[in-house]
Amino acid sequence: MAQPDFSEFPLIPKGNQFEDFREGQRFEHHWGRTLTESDTTLFAALALRFTPLYFNREYARAHDHAELVIDPLLALCTVVGLSVEDLSEAGGPFLGIDRVEFHRPVHAGDTLNARSTVVSARTSKKRPRFGIVTWRTEGVNQNEELVLSYERTNLVQRRSAER
């Protein structure tokens, strides 16, 4: 079998660069994600999160939840993932996540959506080829109820970088 000619498969740039962000700009991230019992049970097992609310339906019901509770860290990871295509897919180092708040439980069967607002965007003094962008992201369920929020900061490559 012949080796493929990778030059026939050009890379398509994805994501936004620093100049594409401005303070106050809003993004409604277009993918939602329904979290299931399987998601939370697997996440609990893999992450060694042995809280019965995440994998024992009867325990969750005994504690006033109609369904299994989705591990808040799984909900957070899901919402971050929903925002990547618009905010950080073009690459650039992740600098941190701050002000994480869990506003209400997420249950098996809930669908999460995400929206983000640019909080700040400035050029990096130490790395002039990059800018530093901070976004405030909210995760909402299928009823538009706020379930979590946080701020995330990344270095984002500049289009007009001096080389």
Question: For residue range 121-149, what is the model confidence (pLDDT) as tens digits?
Answer: 999 999 989 999 999 999 999 999 999 99
User: Between β-strands 94-102 and 111-123, what pairing exists: parallel, antiparallel or unpaired?
Assistant: unpaired
Tokens of 36: 């299931």
Q: pTM of the prediction?
A: 0.87
Of 1-5, 29-33, 84-88, the range with the lowest mean pLDDT is 1-5
Q: For residues 57-80, b (16+ Cβ closer than 10 Å) or e, as one string?
A: beebeeeeeebbbbbbebbbebbb
- What's the pLDDT at 45? 94
Domain ranges of the chain: 17-157
The CATH topology of domain 17-157 is Thiol Ester Dehydrase; Chain A (3.10.129)
- H or E element at residue 107: none
pLDDT in tens, 39-91: 999 999 999 999 999 999 999 999 999 999 999 999 999 999 999 999 998 87
User: Between β-strands 130-140 and 33-34, what pairing exists: parallel, antiparallel or unpaired?
Assistant: unpaired
SS3 of residue 51 by DSSP: coil
Tell whether the model's pLDDT for residue 13 goes beyond 80.
no
- What's the pLDDT at 142? 97
